[in-house]
Amino acid sequence: MAGPVSSLGYVNTERKFLKHIRDNVHGNILLEPIFLSFMDTEQFQRLRDLKQLGLSYMVYPGAVHSRFEHSLGVYWLAGKAIDAIKKYQGQELGIEHTDVLTVKLAGLLHDVGHGPFSHTFERGFLPLVLQGSTWSHEEMSVKMIDHIVDQHKIDLDSELLKKVKEMITSSPGHSSQREKRFLYDIVANGRNGIDVDKFDYIVRDSRACGLGCNFQHERCLFLYSRLMETMHVVDDEICYRANDYLTVHKLFATRADLHQTVYTHAKVKAIELMVIDALVKANPFLQITSLIHQPSEFWKLDDSILKTIESSSQQELKESRDLIQRIRRRDLYQYCNEFSVPKERLDHFRSITPQDIVCSQTNGANLKEEDVVVSYVKIDLTRGRANPLGSVNFFKEYGSKEKFRIPNDCISHLLPAYCEDVIVRVYSREREQVEAVSNAFENYQLKTFGRKKQVHDTPEKKKRPKYFPSL
């Protein structure tokens, strides 16, 4: 144990018990004994072996930062946020030491239940092998916290621990009757999506991927520091100054830009699709899904599962092993083309299947369904098609007791009128089939829309590949 922790949440803050960690985004991060008691466990240290951006590092070489770093960053920003509120409104809101402790602990542990490869595991792999899967890393984080406390005999007040877990799974429906509801807006904000989790990953991911060099990084730092400096609690909710509404919108727009540029990059998605196929083929032999319900087993699952498959000589893993070796050799599923679903069709748009593409092939192409992969990418400003500012409350000046929403007709006309894009992408599993898949995809668009919706044609050099692998 790194230092004494009582069931009342008291921690010994003598300097000899404190630990400094140098973070490349936030500088020196200070950890008290209660946080070290969680951090210095094998379950939390596992986060070092989970890349924050999953497989993005195979396209953006700098994106090798881990969930461990991100969790420390969220812990630090959660502390900064609650300290800022306490400084100006602490007495008015009745903020106590245990409130500070709870918020910071929720920040530290919010991702402790994350699976391998970022969200690919729970949104891509699990739904294919567990029909109707509702597994989420938030719920696993809650289970993992209980497991850590029990296994390592951490003496922590049960009510405080309950609040920590509620903050991680926070949503408007869950938190409407809670005391000091504003505390639940800090780490995982179910009301409007503005939280320190986003503040950290937007800055950290932009820096790691080298987007816009220093400008993008500095812009992200400005966005979150500006909002943290001006946040003010009105009617038990964290609100923002009305004249900062453009800063709020830029936060959401920067997140959407990261999704478009990095998280859903066409080649990143190609690699993710191959990893999903490899895991699906390996699951009957490795029984991966048997690990996802028990924290005592789940913590052993991390990104190294690919190396486990790749280095195995078991015949049952040959198909999975071959797929991973294709990734290593850059023999990837080939991105053929894409189009954005028209706005007027989004409400009733029927999912496109590989069968739809195969049925649209030209004579003699001889495509089969297993040759084609259809991928959907949804990019929004965190509230689907709705303007994210519509769920954010603002105040006019400090000391105000009134909060309000800013109507759409009062905001800048330069902001987008539509806030969601759904993109249909088609991939070929083999290079030799790119031309056939691309032509079939074009034919599908002509039959469905009367014209091609894709912005440009698939390049001829892609349709007729040489011997050189793609970069």
Q: What is the DSSP letter of 405?
A: P
Does one domain contain both 198 and 337? no
**pLDDT score recorded for residue 267:** 97
Instruction: Determine the Cα–Cα distance for residues 404 and 406; give it in Å rounded to an integer.
Output: 7
Q: Does any domain span residue 197? A: yes
Q: Does any domain span residue 4? A: no
Indicate the pairing of strand 27-31 with strand 232-234: unpaired
Does one domain contain both 349 and 211? no
Instruction: Provide the CA 238 distance to its chain's centre, in angstroms.
Output: 23
The runs of H, that is alpha helices, within 152-294 are: 158-168, 172-175, 196-209, 213-230, 245-258, 266-286
Does one domain contain both 259 and 347? no
**pLDDT score recorded for residue 302:** 97
Report phi then psi at 398, rounded to 5.
Answer: -60, 140
pLDDT, tens digit only, all 471 positions of the chain? 444 444 444 455 566 778 999 999 999 999 999 999 999 999 999 999 999 999 999 999 999 999 999 999 999 999 999 999 999 999 999 999 999 999 999 999 999 999 999 999 999 999 999 998 999 999 999 999 999 999 999 999 999 999 999 999 975 445 555 789 999 999 999 999 999 999 999 999 999 998 854 445 566 777 788 899 899 999 999 999 999 999 999 999 999 999 999 999 999 999 999 999 999 999 999 999 999 999 999 999 999 999 999 999 999 999 999 999 999 999 999 999 999 999 999 888 888 999 999 999 987 789 999 999 999 999 999 888 889 999 999 999 998 899 999 998 888 888 888 899 999 999 999 999 999 999 999 999 999 999 999 999 999 888 876 554 554
Q: Does any domain span residue 242? A: yes
CATH for 469 = 3.30.70.2760
- Is the pTM higher than 0.95? no
Neighbour tally for 262: CB within 10 Å: 19
Does one domain contain both 252 and 372? no
**Hey, what amino acid is at 228?**
M
Domain's final residue, options 211, 244, 266: 266
Instruction: Determine the Cα–Cα distance for residues 62 and 56; give it in Å rounded to an integer.
Output: 9
Q: What is the DSSP letter of 51?
A: B
Point out which residues pair with 66 in neighbouring strands.
51
Evaluate the CA torsion angle 302, 113, 85, 407 in order and state its sign. positive
Domains in the chain: how many in total?
2
CATH for 69 = 1.10.3210.10
**pLDDT score recorded for residue 418:** 85
Point out which residues pair with 376 in neighbouring strands.
424
Residue identified by tokens 């995809």 is 441
Domain's final residue, options 266, 299, 317: 266
Does one domain contain both 261 and 338? no
Range of the domain at 463: 333-381+419-471
Residue identified by tokens 């799974």 is 169
Q: Contact, 102 vs 165, CB < 8 A?
A: no
Q: Measured between alpha carbons, how far is residue 304 from residues 47, 124, 311 in Å?
A: 12, 18, 11
Q: Pick from 431, 442, 459: which is nearest to 371 by CA?
A: 431
Instruction: Provide the CA 63 distance to its chain's centre, in angstroms.
Output: 14
Q: Pick from 162, 214, 155: which is nearest to 183 by CA?
A: 162
Does one domain contain both 360 and 225? no
Report phi then psi at 336, rounded to 5.
Answer: -95, -55
Instruction: Determine the Cα–Cα distance for residues 174 and 89; give it in Å rounded to an integer.
Output: 25
Q: Does any domain span residue 277? A: no
Does one domain contain both 337 and 242? no
Q: Measured between alpha carbons, how far is residue 127 from residues 93, 98, 372 in Å?
A: 43, 39, 19
In the chain, the N- to C-terminal Cα span, in Å, equals 48
Domain's final residue, options 242, 266, 290: 266
Token representation of residue 201: 């990953």
Catalytic residue list: 137
Does one domain contain both 260 and 337? no
Q: Measured between alpha carbons, how far is residue 401 from residues 191, 235, 240, 433 in Å?
A: 19, 7, 13, 64
Q: Does any domain span residue 287? A: no
Q: Contact, 354 vs 372, CB < 8 A?
A: yes
